[in-house]
Chains A and B, each alone.
Chain A
Amino acid sequence: MDYSDDFDAVRATSSTAWEDETEDIGQTSLQRLTRWWINERGAPDILVWQAQLVEELLDSLHNQATMVQHIRSDPRTSEQEHFRVVLVQTEMERVKFLIRSYLRVRIHKIEKYAGYIMREPGVQVKLSSGELTHAQKYYDLISKYFHSSALEGLPENMRSLDEQLPNGRSMITEPDKDRGVFVRARKKCENVRLPNGDSLTIEKGSIHLLRYRTVEDLVARAEVELI
C-alpha cells in the first residue's frame, strides 16, 4: 500500500524548524497553506486566494479517503495497517480543519468588507469565483436588509449606504491597513520603506512590529510571514 508518502508528510509538518522553511521548494502544500492560513488570520486585508494549494489538498484528501475506504474494507489488512489508517484519518481531519478555518476567516472578511470589494475591482481578483459570488450576493442581501428595516420611509436623500462624508469618512468599511502586525522575515529584506520615510533592512529570521501597509507587498511575495 502506498501511503508512506502521507506519513512522511505528517512527520515533516510536526518536526520542521522554521529555519528550513525559507524556500517554497521542498515544502508540502500543507505547510504552505498553513503559512497562508496564519497570514490570512493576521492580516487586516484580504490576501490572494491560494487556489492551487487548496485544490491540491482537496484532491489528496479525496484520494486518501478513497484509499482508506479501500484498505478498511479489505479483510486481509493487518492489525498494524489498521493502526496506520487511524493515523491517516486523524491527519485528514486536521487538514480539513485547516482548510475550513482558512475559508471561514476569508468569508468573515469578505462579509465585513463586502461594500469595499464591490467598489474595488483590484480586490475582486484576490477572491475565488465562489467567494466573489458570495461577496456580491451578501452585499445585495445586507443592503436590502438595511433598506427595509432601517431606511424605509425616510426621505430619498438619506437612504444611500455608500456616501463619502465631508469629514473624509466613508460609509463603506475598509480594511485598516495601518494596524500593527508582527512579522518574521523569511529572507533578508532590504529597503523597507517606513511611513516616516526611513528605510529599514529586515534580517532573515528577525521579528518586527510594523504597520501592515509597510509590509503588504512583502507578505504577498511571501518574503515575510505574519505571526
Chain B
Amino acid sequence: MFGDQALILINDARRSTASDTLLKYNDETVRLVRRELRVLDSDIASTIGDNLAAPTPPPGVMCASTFYHIAIRRNIRCLLAYHAHRIDRLKDQYWASGGALPHVFNDQDTRQKLSPYEVDFLRGYNSLIMEYRSDLIDTLDIAAGITHPPKDLHVLVQVVRDCGTIHTENGTIDFQKGQRFMVTRSDVEHLLVQGYLELV
C-alpha cells in the first residue's frame, strides 16, 4: 500500500539501466498500481465527504486528504517514469539497429518482453522516422550509425550470418557465411549494424 507497488516499478527500471538489459514488461505490478490509484481516489473522496464545501475543513480531514493526495501524485509519477524509461530504452534499441524495425521485432527475446502498447508505439515511431528520413534519403540516410566517423571509404568485412545477395553501387555481392569482402562502407553499413557482417 502507499507506493510499495510503484517502488517495484522504479526498482525494475533501475535494475534495467544498471544491467543494461530490457526486462519483461511488468504487467501485473502496473495493474496493481492502477488499482491502488483508484482505491486512493475513493479514499480521498470518502475522507473529504461532506467537508468539500466547508471553507476550513477540520485539521484531521485536511491532513488525511493531503496524505492521500501526495500518495496519488507519487504513484502516478512512478507509473509514468517506468513507462518513459522503457520507451527510452526501446528507442535506443531501434536506433542501434539502424532504424530497422523488423530487426528489433525479429529478436524473440525482445519481442516477448514488450507490451502490446509498446509494439504499437514502436510501429508509430517507425513511421514517423520513415517520414522524416524520406525527405533526405536521396543524399543521406539519417538512420545510419553515428558512433564513429568514417575513416576509410572501403572496409574489409567478414560475413557472420548468411544474408543473401545484396545490390550495391558496383554490382551485386553474394554474402555467404565465412567469406571476406572488401566493400564500400556505405553499401553495407546497415548489415554491419544489424550484425550480419563484422569488421575485420
Q: Interface of A with B (CB < 8 Å)?
A: 58, 61-62, 65, 86, 89-90, 93-94, 96-101, 103-104, 107, 111, 130-131, 133-134, 137-138, 141-142, 144-146, 148-155, 158, 161, 165, 171
Residues from chain B with Cβ under 8 Å of A90 in the complex:
150, 152-153
User: Are B139 and A62 interface neighbours, CB within 8 A?
Assistant: yes
Interface residue? B76 (CB, 8 A): yes
Interface residue? B93 (CB, 8 A): no
Question: In the complex, how many residue pairs between chain A and chain B have their CB atoms under 8 Å apart?
Answer: 100
* Known interface pairs A86-B153, A107-B132, A154-B37; A65-B139 also in contact (CB < 8 Å): yes
What are the interface flags for B67-89 relative to A under an 8 Å C-beta threshold, 1 for contact and 0 otherwise? 00000110010011011100100
* Known interface pairs A149-B117, A155-B41; A58-B142 also in contact (CB < 8 Å): no
User: Are B136 and A155 interface neighbours, CB within 8 A?
Assistant: no
User: Are B117 and A145 interface neighbours, CB within 8 A?
Assistant: yes
Residues from chain A with Cβ under 8 Å of B125 in the complex:
138, 141
User: Are B34 and A62 interface neighbours, CB within 8 A?
Assistant: no
With an 8 Å Cβ cutoff, the count of chain B residues facing the other chain is: 41
* Known interface pairs A154-B38, A165-B73; A100-B121 also in contact (CB < 8 Å): no
Smallest CB gap from B115: residue in A: A149
A90 to B150, CA, bound (A): 8
Smallest CB gap from A129: residue in B: B135
What are the interface flags for B1-42 relative to A under an 8 Å C-beta threshold, 1 for contact and 0 otherwise? 000000000000000000000000000001000100110010
Residues from chain B with Cβ under 8 Å of A65 in the complex:
139
* Known interface pairs A141-B121, A141-B125; A97-B80 also in contact (CB < 8 Å): no
26 A–B contacts, CB within 8 A, in A order: A61-B140, A65-B139, A90-B150, A100-B140, A103-B136, A104-B95, A104-B146, A111-B91, A133-B132, A134-B132, A138-B125, A141-B125, A142-B121, A144-B124, A145-B117, A145-B121, A148-B120, A149-B30, A149-B117, A150-B34, A150-B82, A154-B41, A155-B38, A155-B41, A158-B76, A161-B80
Interface residues in B22-67 by Cβ distance below 8 A to A read 30, 34, 37-38, 41
Min distance, Cβ A65 to any Cβ of chain B, angstroms: 7
Interface residue? B176 (CB, 8 A): no
Interface residue? B186 (CB, 8 A): yes
A17 to B186, CA, bound (A): 30
A118 to B107, CA, bound (A): 35
User: Are B87 and A62 interface neighbours, CB within 8 A?
Assistant: no
User: Are A150 and B128 interface neighbours, CB within 8 A?
Assistant: no
Pick the contact of A146: B80, B91, B142, B149 (CB < 8 A).
B80
A141 to B124, CA, bound (A): 7
Residues from chain B with Cβ under 8 Å of A62 in the complex:
138-139
